[in-house]
Structure formats: C-alpha cells, structure tokens
Amino acid sequence: MPDRRPRAPEHSTRSCAAAEIDAHLIAHETGPRRGPVYASHRLRCGMLIALADLFGIVLTWSFAFAAAKALSLQSALLTAGGLGKLICILMPVYLLSELYPGVAMHPADELRRLSVGTTLALLIVFGLVIQPRHLSTVGIAAITWFVALVTLPLSRMWMRRLGGAWWGVPTLILGAGRLGRRIANTLKKNPQLGLKPVGVLDDQTDRYQREGWSGDIPYLGGLNAASSVAATFQVRHAIIAVAGASSARLAEIVSRYTQSFPSVLVVPNVQGLGNLWVQPRRAGNMLGLEVGNLLAHRLPGILKRFFDLVLSAAGILLLSPVFLILYLLIRTESRGPAFYFQQRVGKNSRPFKLWKFRSMYADCDQAFARALARNPSLADEWRRNHKLRRDPRVTDVGRFLRKLSLDELPQLWNVLVGDMSLVGPRPIVKAEIAKYHARFASYALVRPGITGLWQVSGRNDTSYDQRTRLDEYYVRNWSVWLDVYVLARTIRTVLFCEGAY
C-alpha cells in the first residue's frame, strides 16, 4: 500500500501520486505513448471534433447535392470548389465560437454555438462567396442550412462515442468531500463533457474513505501533491471543490494552482443556482456572477409558446393515422374508452385535465387498492415514486404504449390549448406537491411538458428527489436551446426505450 499519511515528506507524496496516476492513465488510455502520458490532450480532442465537423460538412454537402439533383437545381456550391469554400469558412467560424476542443461544454450551449456559427458561416458562403442571384441558389442554401443543423451535432455526438478513451482530458479533483464526489459522479455519468477524473487530492486522508469514493478514481495524497502531478504527468485540468472553505482560503488555493494548471474550474458549493447561462461580471474589485432568468422576459416566453403551437398542430395532423390505429387497438383489447383523463397541476398551480391513451383496465382502482394492501413492498414503491415497475393494472397494449411513450401522444392537444408545453417539468398530481417542498415554486412558474429533463435522464430509473431536482434545474436554466436539446434527446430515449416500463 502506498504511504498516504498526511505528514509524509514531500518526495513521498509525489511518488505516491506519480505511481497511482500513471497506472490510471495507462489503464484508461490507448494509442502511442509520449513519455509518462500523451502530449496535448486538448489538441487531440480538438482534432477529433474537427474531424467530426469535417465529416458533417461533407455529409451536408452530399445531401444538398443529392437534393439539388433530384429537384434539378444548380449552384456554384455543388462543386468541389464550393465544398472547399464551405469547409474553409465553416471551421474557422467554429474555432472563433470556441467549439474546439469542445471540452466541458454543456450540450445545450454547444448546440447554441453550433447553430449560430453554422447560420453565420452559411450566410457568408452564400452572400459573399457564391453571390446568389437565382431562386435555385436560395433553395439550395435553405436545404444546406437545414441539413447542417442536424448532421453536424450528430457527427459530433457519434465521434465522442467512437472516440472512446481518446475523447477527454485527464482532470484532477482538488477536494475529496461530498462536493468533490458529486462532481466526479457527474463527470463519469456524462463522458461527453470530456473531463475525465483521474485522481482526487485532499489534505484529510480519511475523507476519501468516509465519502465512499470508488477505487477507479484513486486518492493521490494531499493538496501539496497537485503541482508535482501537474508537472510530471501533464495533467492540465483541475477542479477545485473545497466546500466550506473561507473566501481567503479559496483565493489562496486558486492562486496557487492556477500556476500549475492552465485550466482550473472552481465549483462553488451553491445549490439550486442556474448555471447554464451564468456570466462573470465585475463588481468593483470583486467577482460577481450574473444569473439570467429568461422566463422573466416576455419575448422568450412568446417564442416558446409559438413553437408549441406550430409543432403541436403539425404533430396532430401528421400523426392522425397513428391516433386512429392506437384507438382501435385499445378499444379492441379491453372494454372502456380509448382516452384517459387525469387531473394534474399546471402553471401557477392551476388544475387541468391531462389527456392520455388508456393503458390500464377500466375500473381497476379498487383492485389496485386491494393489491397495495396485500403487498407492502408494492405499496412502498408506489409511495416513493408514484410508479410501479410491474403495474398489475396495465394492459398488454398499454405496456407497449408505455414502452414507446405512445400513450402520451394525446397531450399534443393539451399543448395546443395551452395547458402544457412540449418541453417542461413532469406534470404532477395534487398529492405530489408536498414532495416537491420548496421546489414547487419553480415548478409552478412554467407549463408542464410532454417531455423534459426527467424523461431524457433515466425516466423511471431516477429517484423522486432526482426528478424534482431536474425540474428545478430546467426552470432555472431554461432557454430555447435547452428545449431543442431535450427534444432531440427524447427521440433517442424513446427509440431505445431508456428507463421505460
């Protein structure tokens, strides 16, 4: 066992950190070695994402070329020279938008930067380079823009998955307390962020064991080992998670370790604060954080409602054949109406009737009450989650509907009439208000959604407390880009039946 005593000599602490982190990096990395670790992790990540963008641009051009050929359209873009101009303009714009290397960026923020950058670059391409003069060129521009908004985010997502161990930068966590452990768990569950925790440092040697850290993120010694680890192994990213430290102590830690790590992320122990669109601001000689709340502005709310109206109306029209088929299946399998109505709590605590396709046997409430009385574990599961993994009330067709979330399609009508939104907190019943505690105030600020962060973050595999946290996070961090991200993730969640039962 390596020596981890808090009063060990400096060279002993360094050797302990060196041995463990080197072993960890060897175990979790592939490819040619360059000394103890691989040089320039950020450059490698940037090259992977640039390769993904290059593939996405070529794919976009190919789609535009195929569409133009099918529609008998012509444009200077649809040549090898046009493709070269597209690449030479798009990728520098992405670089200026800080999309490389794409590490430690929330997917919603990345989607925003990518969409704005793509729109700006294509305006430059078609406005200055191609100089459109014909209607056909405008049509090709619209096709290219639409396809690029889809293919480029997807190509980045696929590259991060295919990159595996090549994607991400080694990161040290300074602080083994509860905050540090929560950060480590978040980074492990979200590898797309690109921060790979390879070790934790803390001056209290027993805190690592107390907080129940897993062995795949080793304890490397006290905070004084950070500089030697950074120098020896070129770990250039650190996250400071020292909860409860005084402002003077925190300033001292930041000042010391910004000299060792080019990139230092300071995570304050402040819960319930919106963080997606927080901006640093100067308050005299002090650091301030400007926390925006887009829901407090009228225009974003109008924009959200506009998209709800357009997409829900289009959805009802396009899916009307599916509605008819599901209606017939439900009526054929069991007696009772095809639709089910339930009272839910909406915006400003107003009640509304939630529409769903019936997925349970009619008049099953009394039988369900008897089942809960006979089975204490079933009753406990219902009390905790208001969900049952094996609900005896659900029909065979209902199980299929729930698996693919098809039972929720009628809620498009709730969106159309203004009771709900496409994206928002999970709609709750009145009995659940008490479980939200203080978070209910955030819930009541917005319309509940057909889909939301809960649905794309594990659905029924999450605890009730996690659900309420996700609802609060959504409200505090809302933007149109977060809605787009959730809608895109919903497609994947439904197709793969993630957390569904």
Domains and CATH numbers, the chain: 10-36+168-269 (3.40.50.720), 42-164 (no CATH), 298-359+394-495 (no CATH)
DSSP 359: -
Residue bearing tokens 């793509």: 118
pTM of the entire predicted model: 0.78
Reduced to 3 states (helix: H, G, I; strand: E, B; else coil), residue 40 is coil
pLDDT at residue 37, as a whole number: 43
Does residue 496 carry a pLDDT above 80? Answer: no
Q: How far is CA 289 from CA 103, 276, 278, 296, 491, in A?
A: 22, 12, 6, 18, 35
266-293 mean pLDDT = 70
Say which residue the tokens 């204490």 belong to. 376
User: 393 pLDDT band (50/70/90 cuts)?
Assistant: confident
pLDDT classification of 243: cutoffs 50, 70, 90? confident
Comparing 12 with 21, the larger pLDDT belongs to 21
Each as own residue / partner, the long-range contacts of residues 439-442 (CB below 8 Å, 24 or more positions apart, any chain) are 439/468, 439/469, 439/471, 439/472, 442/471, 442/472, 442/475, 442/476
The token pair that represents 288 in the structure block:
């301030």
H or E element, residue 284: none
pLDDT tens-digit series, residues 452-482? 988 887 666 677 888 888 888 898 888 889 9
214 and 222 Cβ atoms separated by less than 8 Å: no
Cα-flanking dihedrals φ and ψ of residue 428, to 5°? Answer: -115, 160
Residue range 28-79, pLDDT digits in tens:
443 333 334 434 777 888 899 999 999 999 999 899 888 888 877 776 667 7
3-state helix, strand, coil in the chain (%, to 5): 55, 10, 30
CA distance to 179, 205, 263, 311, 371, per residue, from 128 (Å)? 50, 62, 38, 34, 70
What confidence score (pLDDT) does residue 32 get?
A: 34
Tens of pLDDT, residue by residue over 93-148, are 999 999 998 888 888 899 999 999 999 988 888 776 555 556 667 778 888 899 99
Is residue 75 packed enough to be buried (19+ CB in 10 Å), middle (13-18) or exposed (0-12)?
buried
| Per-position DSSP letters for 443-460, written without gaps between them | HTTS--EEE-TTTTTTGG
CA distance 319 to 332: 20
Q: Single out the residue of 199, 231, 227 nearest to residue 215, CA to CA.
A: 199
Say which residue the tokens 């659940």 belong to. Answer: 432
**∠ at Cα 39 (34, 44), nearest 5°?**
120
CA–CA distance, 246 with 242 (Å, rounded to integer): 10
Give tens-digit pLDDT for 280-338.
777 777 777 777 777 777 888 888 999 999 999 999 999 999 999 999 999 998 888 89
Angle between helices 298-318 and 480-495 (to 10 degrees): 30
Rounded CA separation 232/280 (Å): 32
Coil, strand or helix at 368: helix
Cα(349)–Cα(15) distance, rounded to whole angstroms? 59
Arithmetic mean of pLDDT over the chain: 81
Which range is least confidently modeled, 229-238, 273-282, 353-362, 390-399? 273-282
Q: Which residue has the higher pLDDT, 409 or 496?
A: 409
Backbone angles phi, psi at 379, to 5 degrees: -65, -40
Determine which helix (DSSP H) or strand (DSSP E) holds 350, and give its type and residue range: none
Confidence (pLDDT) at 23? 52
Comparing C-alpha atoms, which of 371, 376, 357, 488 is closest to residue 422?
A: 488
Q: What is the pLDDT of residue 60?
A: 92
Exposed (0-12), middle (13-18) or buried (19+): which is 90, by Cβ within 10 Å?
Answer: buried
CA angle 155, 161, 162 (to 5 degrees): 85
Token pair 């000042």 is at which residue? 255
Please write down the long-range contacts of 42-48, taking CB distance under 8 Å and 24 or more positions apart. Answer: 42/101, 42/103, 42/169, 42/236, 43/101, 44/166, 45/101, 45/102, 45/103, 45/167, 45/168, 45/169, 45/194, 46/100, 46/101, 46/102, 48/101, 48/159, 48/160, 48/163, 48/166, 48/167
